[in-house]
């Protein structure tokens, strides 16, 4: 089966073509085409992701990404297509909320034949709803025009599967597994009793960990996205042994549950640096202490969940899992203290948002694919939960 996957939940516009062989979870996957446009340079001006801008950029770049992914997959065949009046009207109606996208897509479809695609997988949540809608409406238009079924995908399940993806297959993991999902919008501990059986056992009560990285970076005068910037400064501070400038709290580290809170940590940074002009050494030291605090909390909470739930596999995913210090500390700690637990981190290029992960999660639910008419009922759900993969309505 060949899958066309689409990701537009935040500030990456991504389209992939992935062919699969065998049944989930024992299938093999070939990434035939993979195109991604990151909007970070555009959002940097605003200091964070601006939903209306994200929506406009998705509408502008989806068709070029589709074209790029198909070309890479050698599935781009130029040939003039004759549209019926009805098709023209239907496509315009389907995309009327996405200015510019209808014209771009119609021009593309008029000059290319249908590629060999069996399924479209698209993120339906969680994420920024205006951004999600662009991908959903785009998938809907392609589904209508090419008569291909669509499967709505939970973005967080995508992060989980991309964390264990080894390039061409998913390993046989031992259950129960625990996923620690750390991204710009989420901080969750998810219990997996088996494939496709998810239960969120803890989450942040305020800011997501990536959001805290981004906000603290901003306070330190670093550009968006702040995660990698903080990581670089913290590494320098550790390497050069900079003196500690501030001591930050480890919020909820000993609370008897699996929840998190990062807004107090962010506020503690604000108080520590306000009215001061920091030297480069001091800034790097703040970055280090912040990264230490976050890492300790994540590690302690994951450890508690592993102990209390008899976990055999730990899967860390989401954009913040690209952080090298968190990776090192987790590898070090769990190999020493819990050698029986297998720990997975995603390959670096699949840590932050991408569409390969949407193809992986789409294939896991290929049996639930919807026809064009059924898919027309699907709505973007910014807060879509991973619990038992509740379907968006």
| Secondary structure string (H, E, C) spanning 219-282 | HCCCCCCHHHHHHHHHHHHHHCCCCCCCCCCCCCCCCCCCCECCHHHHHHHHHHHCCCCCCHHH
> Residue 292: which of Zn ion, ligand KG4, none does it interact with, CB under 5 to 8 A by kind?
none
Helix or strand run (H / E) with residue 4: strand 2-7
164 vs 4: CA distance, rounded Å: 21
Nearest-approach distance from CB 42 to ligand KG4, in angstroms: 15
Q: What are phi and psi of 279, to 5 degrees?
A: -80, 165
H-helix or E-strand spanning residue 54: helix 51-72
Minimum distance between the CB of residue 11 and ligand KG4, rounded to whole angstroms?
8
Nearer to Zn ion, 73 or 298 (CB): 298
In Å, what is the CA distance from 213 to each residue of 156, 245, 356? 19, 18, 25
What SS3 state is found at 55? helix
- Residue 183, interface with Zn ion (CB under 5 A)? yes
* Contacts of residue 14, Cβ cutoff 8 Å, sequence gap at least 6: 5, 6, 7, 8, 34, 35, 36, 37, 65, 353, 354, 355, 358
Q: Which is nearer to ligand KG4, 44 or 205 (CB)?
A: 44
Q: Looking at beta carbons only, is 5 or 183 nearer to Zn ion?
A: 183
Please give the residues from 340 up to 369 whose contact with Zn ion meets the rule CB under 5 A: 353
Minimum CB separation of residue 156 from ligand KG4 in Å reads 8
Residue 123 binding Zn ion, by CB under 5 A: no
Q: 221: phi > 0 → left, psi -120 to 50 → alpha, else beta; which? A: left
Q: Which is nearer to ligand KG4, 142 or 180 (CB)?
A: 180
Minimum CB separation from ligand KG4 for residue 285, in Å? 17
How many residues at the interface with Zn ion, by CB under 5 A? 2
- For the chain, the helix, strand and coil percentages under 3-state DSSP, each to the nearest 5: 45, 20, 35
- Residue 278 Cβ vs ligand KG4, minimum distance, rounded to whole Å: 20
Considering beta carbons, is residue 135 or 184 the nearer one to ligand KG4? 184
Among Zn ion, ligand KG4, none, partner that 228 touches (CB below 5 to 8 angstroms by kind): ligand KG4
**Choice between 130 and 184, CB closer to ligand KG4:** 184
- Partner interacting with residue 231 (select from ligand KG4, Zn ion, none; CB below 5-8 Å by kind): ligand KG4
From the list ligand KG4, Zn ion, none, pick the one residue 317 interacts with, judged by a Cβ distance below 5 to 8 Å according to partner type: none
214 binds Zn ion (CB under 5 A): no
Distance between CA 173 and CA 313 in Å, rounded?
7
For residue 328, give both structure tokens: 């090192």
Sign of the C-alpha dihedral computed for residues 67, 68, 69 and 70 taken in this order:
positive
Interface residues with ligand KG4 (CB under 6 A) are 10, 183-185, 210, 213-214, 225-228, 231, 318-320, 322-323, 352-353
CB of 358: closest distance to ligand KG4 in angstroms?
A: 12
Beta bridge partners of 344: 315
In the complex, least distance from residue 93 CB atom to ligand KG4, rounded to whole angstroms: 30
Comparing CB distances to ligand KG4, the nearer of 75 and 288 is: 288
Cβ 323 to ligand KG4 shortest distance, Å? 3
Residues that bind Zn ion in the complex, under the rule CB under 5 A: 183, 353
């Amino acid at each position: 089966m060949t899958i066309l996957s689409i990701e537009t939940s935040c500030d990456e516009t991504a389209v992939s073509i992935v062919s699969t062989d065998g049944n989930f979870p024992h299938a093999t996957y070939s990434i035939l085409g993979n195109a991604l446009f990151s909007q970070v340079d555009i959002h940097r001006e605003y200091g964070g992701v601006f939903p209306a801008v994200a929506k406009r950029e998705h509408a502008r770049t989806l068709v070029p990404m589709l074209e790029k992914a198909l070309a890479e997959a050698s599935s781009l065949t130029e040939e003039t297509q004759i549209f019926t009046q009805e098709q023209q009207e239907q496509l315009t109606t389907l995309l009327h909320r996405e200015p510019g996208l209808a014209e771009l897509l119609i021009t593309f479809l008029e000059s290319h034949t249908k590629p060999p695609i069996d399924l479209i997988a698209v993120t339906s949540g969680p994420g920024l709803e205006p951004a999600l809608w662009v991908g959903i409406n785009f998938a809907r238009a392609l589904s209508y025009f090419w008569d291909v079924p669509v499967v709505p995908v939970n973005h967080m399940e995508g992060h989980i599967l991309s964390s264990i993806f080894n390039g061409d297959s998913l390993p046989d993991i031992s259950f129960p597994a625990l996923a620690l999902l750390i991204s710009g919008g989420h901080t969750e501990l998810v219990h997996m009793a088996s494939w496709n059986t998810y239960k969120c056992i803890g989450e942040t009560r305020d800011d997501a960990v990536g959001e805290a990285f981004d906000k603290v970076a901003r306070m330190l005068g670093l550009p968006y996205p702040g995660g990698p910037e903080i990581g670089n400064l913290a590494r320098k501070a550790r390497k050069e042994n900079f003196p500690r400038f501030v001591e930050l709290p480890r919020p909820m580290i000993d609370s008897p549950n699996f929840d998190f809170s990062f807004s107090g940590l962010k506020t503690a940074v604000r108080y520590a640096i306000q009215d001061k002009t920091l030297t480069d050494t001091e800034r790097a030291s703040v970055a280090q202490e912040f990264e230490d605090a976050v890492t300790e909390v994540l590690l302690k909470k994951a450890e508690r969940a592993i102990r209390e739930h008899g976990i055999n596999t730990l899967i860390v995913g989401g954009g913040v899992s690209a952080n090298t210090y968190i990776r090192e500390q987790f590898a070090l700690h769990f190999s020493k203290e819990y050698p029986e637990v297998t720990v997975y981190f995603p390959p670096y290029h699949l840590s932050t948002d991408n569409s390969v992960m949407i193809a992986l999660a789409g294939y896991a639910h290929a049996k639930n694919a919807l026809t064009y008419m059924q898919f027309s009922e699907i709505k973007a759900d910014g807060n879509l939960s991973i619990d038992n993969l509740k379907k968006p309505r």
